[in-house]
Structure 1
């Protein structure tokens, strides 16, 4: 719920720990400093700001600062004065310059998505607490080598930039698990080939009848629909219509390419065909309709959890169900890796599950292709993604109804193998799948 400038100026927000102002601001209201002793979260998203005060450090309790959808052309250097900042978000501005002193070493989560940044300062490597670094939709050709010191980094978004090659130290980061790099020059040729492949089925828009909306994300909208076939049958399907803007994961075009390249697999929610002839020229895909009895395994990470998904209090299942979900997701991932794809966002919030029917993996917003990479680098990056699976195994094991006294030894042992710091020592999904298959009743 947004606050109002009138409330702030009247002193009615004294003692506030959070302040949300979205009211066309062109200048930073100095009255905010009256909250310096208590203010922890300041959200100025959706204004017309281009600068922050030079004495921003007076907000000495500040931990979260959001200034997305404004008019900044430079990340304000005064941010660096706020020594307790955990999270900084400046998505969708016009930022072209990031001063060396604008990044407080305390940062755990930095969002600079959808700007015009060409170079980042070496001081980024001083943020050794960094867990989440979101840089999609800029003009970067490289990362500062100092980022290799960020050994806590778990999620990295480099999609829709200008990388000709990826840093060779990426796979040495021991905790990196969620990596997105689509829409860079090394990847675009493979994307175009996937979308234009002659084997890809096409569906005419006029053969589709859209039903209710099933969901909406940053990259597009998913509808329930029916498809009229040449055999006069009517099939229930899902339709995803893509938006055009860059998202935190990259370009919707890249997502569409990955969906198509993924091909068919029984535990994967992938594309069946491309849509032609939309009246507005909108790109879209037809996908299998997952039965409504399936539900999402967890919610996405919160500001507090940072990189880990948020489960409901009643999220519980049997060990047998947990093993079935793990097996189904491992099968989907083995299929993707065999086709030269990385999912990039292997999270419980992208998994649908059913107590008897296991798991289904979807959402290719962060997926990307490794065909143009050196085979050794591609294999190493598959090992990075294995850590995400290890996190999932941990979460599944923790919530087994029958594991209160003794967690599943198979799940915990597998998780330990997937989470080990040495990326090269982690198993492949084919190996994990063989272990889980052997455990099936």
Structure 2
């Protein structure tokens, strides 16, 4: 950006525009939908609509979420995916009714993830995919109601055991992270153990057992052929409308 020039101003949202953007969900909740409106700054006028149940600011150009987000005490659903956010405010931990939090496809790093998220005791879904996160706070294991966690397309080399063992967890998406590959000696040991399964004549095995052994051998061959994971990988930064590659994974980052 040239010296003296400011970033995009974005569309100005007035209270009238915000009120006209209110939708009622099937279960009677009030959703303020300001997605895909070219907004660059969090609209202050919506602070006068603190009684809404759902807030959608996805697919804009917002860089910062203010501490005043805490005023939306009725919020159960907050969608901020596909913006330019690099840090979430600590006050987000005061949204105790929040069930759904989507901040995928932003610019979040480790420093941008507040520990206070671990106080959202009612949270059911947390999406942190498509960011620049290298590690996730182990304290997020306190979110006992979580059913879905998205950690895909980050820079993770491990996932805290406290998150893996969440009691109600049904889906943990960690695709396309640079997890370390098995050491060569570990692969060789696995091959030796696998070979031991074939020290009998095939005719002495029942058909299900033979099929299982063949599947295990195929799986091991795939591990041997699989290239080491790259430390860096393409990210769909600043994504508002998905390109052809990201379109295949829209269900993940939405």
Which TM-score bucket, shorter chain as reference? 0.5 to 0.7
Please report how far the alpha carbon of residue 182 of structure 1 lies from its aligned counterpart in structure 2 after TM superposition: 1.1
1:87 aligns with 2:77: yes
Task: List alignment gaps of at least 5 residues for structure 2.
Answer: 1-8, 25-29, 183-220, 227-241
The structure with the greater share of residues assigned to strand is 1
Is the CA contact 1:182–1:250 (under 8 Å) kept in the aligned structure 2?
A: no
Structure 1 partner of 2:52: 62
In 1: Cα distance, 2:251 partner to 2:177 partner: 12
Structure 2 residue 74 is matched with structure 1 residue 73: no
Deviation at 1:79, TM superposition (A): 2.2
**Post-superposition shift, 1:73?**
1.4
In the alignment, what sits opposite 2:208? none
Counterpart for residue 413 of structure 1: none
Residue 107 (structure 1) aligned with residue 98 (structure 2): yes
Maintained 8 Å contact 1:142/1:166: yes
Aligned residues: 184
Give the aligned partner of residue 243 of structure 1. 244
Alignment partner of 2:164: what SS?
helix
Q: 1:243 to 1:55 in 2, by over 3 A?
A: closer
Task: Report deviation, 1:78.
Answer: 2.6
Please list, as runs of the form range in 1=range in 2, the aligned pairs for 1:374-393 lying within 5 A after superposition. none
Over 3 Å counting, the alpha-carbon distance change for 1:194 and 1:66 in structure 2 is farther
Q: What residue is the counterpart of 1:180 in the other structure?
A: 173
CA distance change for structure 1 residues 33 and 139 in 2, over 3 Å: closer, same or farther? closer
The answer to whether the aligner puts 1:129 opposite 2:129 as a matched pair is no
Instruction: Name the CA shift for 1:42/1:33 in 2 (closer, same or farther; >3 Å).
Output: closer
Runs of 4+ in 1 over 3 A off after TM superposition: 32-39, 53-57, 193-198, 246-251
Aligned-partner Cα distance in 1 for 2:244–2:23: 40
Aligned residue in 1 for 2:131: 138
Show the counterpart of 1:31: 16
Q: Give the CA deviation at 1:180.
A: 0.6
**Equivalent residue, structure 2, for 1:208:** none
SS in 1 for 2:116: helix
3-state SS of 2:91 partner: helix
Please report how far the alpha carbon of residue 244 of structure 1 lies from its aligned counterpart in structure 2 after TM superposition. 1.2
Paired residues of 1:124 and 1:144 also in contact (CA < 8 A):
no
Distance change (3 Å), C-alpha of 1:133 and 1:109: same
Provide the residue aligned with 1:165 in structure 2. 158
Look up the match of 2:201: none
Residue 35 of structure 1: how far off its partner (Å): 7.6
- State the Cα deviation string for residues 214-243 of structure 1 (Å, max 9, x = none): xxxxxx9xxxxxxxxxxxxxxxxxxxxx93
CA distance in 2, matches of 1:92, 1:186: 24
Does the 8 Å CA contact 2:21/2:33 hold for their aligned counterparts?
no
* Structure 1 residue runs without a partner (length 5+): 1-23, 199-219, 221-241, 252-441
Specify whether residues 250 and 59 from structure 1 end up closer, same or farther in structure 2 by C-alpha distance, changes over 3 A only: closer
Change beyond 3 A, Cα 1:81–1:32: farther
TM-score norm. by structure 2 comes to 0.62
Q: How does 1:310-329 map to 2 (within 5 A)?
A: none
CA, structure 1 residues 69+34, in 2 after alignment: closer, same or farther (shift >3 Å)? closer
Aligned residue for 1:117?
A: 108
CA shift, 1:97, in A, is: 1.4
